[in-house]
Structure 1
Amino acid sequence: MILNKENMRNKKVILILCLLVLVSGSVQAQRLKAVQNEKGRYGFMTEDGTVVIKYKYDEATPFKDGIAKIGKDGKYSLINEDGEIITKRKYTYIGEFYNGVCPVAEGGNTKKGVMLTTGGLIGNKASSNTGEKWGLIDKTGKEILKTDYEAMGDLNKKLIYVLKGKKFGFIDSAGNIIVKPTYNFIGSFNNQGICWVNIGGKYDKKNNMVSKGKFGLINENGREIIPAKYEDVGNFPVLRDKKTGALLDEAAFYTKADQSAFPATKQEIQSLLLPKPHAAESQLPSSRVDYFYFINKKSQGLVDIHGNTIIPLTANQAILPPSDNMLRLAKVEKKQIAKAYYDLDAEVMVRISSSEKGKFGAFSHNLAPVSLDDELYFIDKKGNKVIGGLSKAFLSNEGYRVVQKGSAFGAIDSTGAVVISIEYTNSLTSVNNGRLGVQKNASWFYVDMKGQIVSDKYDRIGNFHQGYASVCLNKLWGAIDLQNRVVVPLEWQGVAPIVDPKLIWVKKDNLYYLYDGVQKSVRLKQGFANASNFDNEMAYVMSDGKWGIIDPDGKVLVPCLFEKEEDMVLAKQYMLAEDKKNLTEVEALRVIARFDPDTNMFKITSVIPDKHWDY
């Protein structure tokens, strides 16, 4: 075959093109990294050292998802791994991408290429930004929200606040305007997805509080569930006793002398109707009920989470937190305080006595306690008296309530029916796992909710917990299960509450040993001065006055070197977060030094222990 010059030329061109494609593909197949030359300029090169993007930038970040940030003379842009600039170099700030978008800013004060900005803090703090304008771009560099805003919130929220002309509005993560800038102040969204807003309010800089103006509530879809036209708005927070953990809208127990769940005077009601300031940027408290109140001119109303009116504005009427879906209403009338319950399920008002001497409690498991005319009794949700003549009633649990008549104890269910005969000389204070511990004469035992005796008799007993209970006979402790089977023989000084029958802490000679209730044998021969139940295969233990962590086989995960049990909580949290199986002494000391400020605090005249200098 004879090749002419034209054919030869064409084949050379094709060969060169093929080589270029191969070289280009080889370069692109390699990851680029930002590098700095001797003059302090940044560029990008491949892993084999080939410079792909020249050294001409003051700043450069590593590529992430195919995009890197470059900066020169205080202005930033983005490039891709082909070296193509995908945004104009006009931004004084470019943030991190979140769900495909990132915040950008133009203008504002800079110093040596560093943006002097608050990042757009919410509420009153927005005024402290430095003149920049904020917007959003996507990964193609397209501005999906123009840089027109003085401040912008975090992108990891369903709604993102923006500030324009000293007014707040909201956008979604795609840059769509959901709520036009309308509000002078806003809070933050709480666990219910609700946020307070304010128009025309005043900011108290000293106390960081917003007051006056008109308050309202919006949800995470941008819908006003309460329009911003009221003196105050709010919800009903979860309030618990710091010591017992019991909900404060229901006392730990009721007697004839207990306080009512209703305000008793006109002054108490009026104090509940006074508008209260909101801490700037604050969330409404966490709540377990999706109802919200609004106040105007000593009147109060209620809406549900969808904005439906439940109770219209009513003058001189206070709404108290619902319990068991029963609101409590107290209204100032001519010469008395009118009291009522409102059934949120049946949408029915249940009026009760207005007697000043009457004390009415919150509902729990369909019943509410009433102390009236020197009698303690319970009413149902229709206001009917279901059981009376009581002297004491304890907290409801599992739908049952321990009650006392005179000197005798028993239990009722959520209808007020007696399920355990009121005949025992003493009892534990609550039903647990369908069992109640009761005493007759000198012996303690358990009965079920049919009133049947379901255990042997003992000198002392504890509440059932996760199917197990500790029991004592002749000063020796053990444990039984719900079938009255002995899980731990009665031969110990004490038994800790049981969570896992294979991992039970028992006490002998003032030391705790790990006992296996399935194998009926001591699992660890080493005793500890103190110990906690296992969680995530870890238990805190104390030896020689110092705390550490072990696993169920007794393997030391954190050495017993620490003064405080709280330090073990920090160590455990760190191990779980970092997926570490154990910590050496050095690692543990570093974790505690990092997360426990008290560990690093010494008096000015103190000698710092040598071990602290390394951590």
Structure 2
Amino acid sequence: MWQALGVISLCFMLVGAASFGSIEEGKPPELLPVYVGNKAGFINRQGKMVIRPRFDMVGHFHEGLAAVSIKEIWGYIDKTGKMVIPLRRGLTSMPFSQGRAPIRVKDKEGYIDRTGKVVIKPQFDTAFSFARGLACVKVEGGYGFIDLKGKLVIPPLFDGCVDLPGDFVSIEKGGKYGFLDRKGNAVSPLQYDAACDFAEGLAAVALGNKWGFLDGTGKLVIPLQYDAASSFSQGLAAVAVGDKYGYLDRTGKSVIPPQFAEAGDFSEGLALVHLPDGAKGLVDTQGKIVTLDFPLEKMEPFAQGMAAVKVGEKYGYVDQTGKLIIAPQYDEAHPFVQGLAKVSRGDKYGLIDRTGKVVVPLEYDRIFDFHEDRARVQKERYFGFIDRSGRLITPIMFLYSETDDFDFHGGLAYVEADEYCGYLNREGKFIWKSK
């Protein structure tokens, strides 16, 4: 038993330091980290050892380099195994991103380039990886963003690192909101009392009790004249005049006049609305309304022509005509993805198809999302893999984890069992397994 625990602790160190899920430039990694005994090296995708195990811990390859450590001191190797940035104190297991990797010197963090030269001096409390030209850093008690030269372009106004998925970020100071672009330029000054994120090129903002919309230049293109507003979805945004909601387009033209007690976002051309008489219905982008003939409690967005609905205490599904086609019978119901939806009764999960047929029996403690037509299914502390027909391609024998490091990427999945770890192909066969 002690031997098994030792093996698992090594496997855990491997995955903790070397996320198999990291895909460089959209391609599967060429080299995969493995442990032999208590040393780590790399195999290729055919299972052949190409960098002999000689490190205590390793990270994954990114931008051609991988972090490696000996006696808790880190450096970086290339894909031939050559140490291109020698082991030195202050380097970390963080991968290179956009030619930069963090380094820590005297309790402050900065960045090195691919030669190991410090290019952004250590001055931050914490430094994270770069993405799209910016990196989140902690400085002066808050979190902001620097560019590749180390310039603080977005001030440390946040309580933690935030995602910057678009070209603009909303900021708040002293109860007032504004927007910056990714270069730190002010798109809109701190003047609004409320603001939503940009969606479809426009952001809803409020001044006093009135809402309008501004564009990416900061120009108020739809005046502050509405009593409430939501973000745009599929070209339309819900706005309120008094206590009635309708929809306008991106030019500010009223497309569906205010008439609803509540109005939701559009998905697949339909939005849930509450009618004045208390009924609920679906409205399309032209304003055509279909009244639902059942007592709806909740509705999820449409996906593949179906939407999960809660009726009483159970979930079923409606189609785009508002017809209830899968009777309410589940405690949870998730969106359809490639023809399958995850549902539960009690604490057991399965999968159904669009006709309501059970494809995977409701017998699992958890079902993860499909990756490359394979999904993890969990029972107690172990998981295995199924295909889209529900067939188990491996036994339920691998140690459970929340992370997506154990999903399939580029035809392979990393797994850990009680006494070994390794890499599986999509047929459930090992290309490499620890002894």
Both structures adopt the same fold (TM-score exceeding 0.5): yes
Q: CA deviation at 1:465?
A: 3.4
2:340 counterpart SS class: helix
Q: Give the letter aligned to residue 219 of structure 1.
A: N
1:478 counterpart SS class: strand
- Out of 325, 334, 337, which is 1:557 matched to? 325
Number of residue pairs matched?
333
Tell me which structure has the larger Cα radius of gyration.
1
Partner of 2:361: 594
State the distance in 2 between where 1:188 and 1:396 align.
22
1:569-608 paired onto structure 2 within 5 Å: 573=340, 582-583=355-356, 591=358, 594-596=361-363
State the distance in 2 between where 1:549 and 1:571 align.
16
Q: 1:558 to 1:407 in 2, by over 3 A?
A: closer
Structure 1: gaps spanning 5 or more residues:
1-122, 125-186, 202-212, 237-287, 599-615
More strand by share: 2
Partner of 1:234: 59
Partner of 1:196: 33
1:25-174 paired onto structure 2 within 5 Å: none
| CA RMSD in angstroms, aligned pairs only | 4.2
Structure 2: gaps spanning 5 or more residues:
5-17, 343-349, 366-435
Q: Between the two proteins, what is the percent identity of the paired residues? A: 23
List per-residue Cα deviations over 1:439-462 (Å, max 9, x = no partner): 222212110011111224222222
- Out of 92, 102, 117, which is 1:328 matched to? 102
Is 1:342 matched up with 2:112? Answer: yes
List per-residue Cα deviations over 1:322-379 (Å, max 9, x = no partner): 5666422224xxxx235212356x9863333447xx5656545423455656787653
State the distance in 1 between where 2:268 and 2:336 align.
20
State the distance in 1 between where 2:271 and 2:183 align.
38
Q: 1:490 to 1:322 in 2, by over 3 A?
A: farther
State the distance in 1 between where 2:67 and 2:314 align.
51
State the distance in 2 between where 1:306 and 1:475 align.
67
State the distance in 2 between where 1:499 and 1:567 align.
15
More helix by share: 1
- C-alpha contact (below 8 Å) 1:510/1:529 kept by paired residues: no
Q: Give the letter aligned to residue 546 of structure 1.
A: K
TM-score between both structures, scaled by the size of structure 1: 0.46
- Out of 380, 388, 402, which is 2:147 matched to? 380
1:219-368 paired onto structure 2 within 5 Å: 219-222=44-47, 224=49, 226-235=51-60, 292-303=66-77, 311-320=85-94, 326-331=100-105, 336-343=106-113, 349-354=118-123, 358=125, 360=127, 363-368=130-135
Q: 1:232 to 1:530 in 2, by over 3 A?
A: same
Partner of 1:461: 229
State the distance in 2 between where 1:325 and 1:514 align.
50
Partner of 1:452: 219
- C-alpha contact (below 8 Å) 2:109/2:127 kept by paired residues: no
Q: CA deviation at 1:522?
A: 0.7
Q: 1:189 to 1:385 in 2, by over 3 A?
A: closer
State the distance in 2 between where 1:552 and 1:389 align.
45
2:88 counterpart SS class: strand
State the distance in 2 between where 1:293 and 1:189 align.
14
**Structure with more relative contact order (C-alpha pairs < 8 Å, separation 6 or more):** 2
Q: Give the letter aligned to residue 367 of structure 1.
A: L
- C-alpha contact (below 8 Å) 1:366/1:415 kept by paired residues: no
Q: CA deviation at 1:230?
A: 0.7
State the distance in 1 between where 2:60 and 2:304 align.
36
Q: CA deviation at 1:521?
A: 1.8
List per-residue Cα deviations over 1:548-592 (Å, max 9, x = no partner): 2222124443223x04133886996279x9997634xxxx5xx39
- Out of 162, 184, 188, which is 1:416 matched to? 184
Q: 1:554 to 1:219 in 2, by over 3 A?
A: same
Q: Give the letter aligned to residue 167 of structure 2.
A: G
Q: 1:403 to 1:453 in 2, by over 3 A?
A: same
Partner of 1:437: 204
Partner of 1:242: none
Q: 1:219 to 1:565 in 2, by over 3 A?
A: same
State the distance in 2 between where 1:447 and 1:188 align.
40
State the distance in 2 between where 1:412 and 1:391 align.
13
Q: 1:582 to 1:319 in 2, by over 3 A?
A: closer
- C-alpha contact (below 8 Å) 1:367/1:416 kept by paired residues: no
- C-alpha contact (below 8 Å) 2:56/2:70 kept by paired residues: yes
Q: CA deviation at 1:535?
A: 1.5
List per-residue Cα deviations over 1:108-131 (Å, max 9, x = no partner): xxxxxxxxxxxxxxx98xxxxxxx
Partner of 2:306: 538
TM-score between both structures, scaled by the size of structure 2: 0.62
State the distance in 2 between where 1:567 and 1:431 align.
27
Q: Give the letter aligned to residue 102 of structure 2.
A: R
- C-alpha contact (below 8 Å) 2:316/2:326 kept by paired residues: yes
List per-residue Cα deviations over 1:176-230 (Å, max 9, x = no partner): xxxxxxxxxxx9976735433333x1xxxxxxxxxxx211122215565643111
1:502-541 paired onto structure 2 within 5 Å: 503-508=270-275, 511-518=279-286, 520-527=287-294, 528-541=296-309
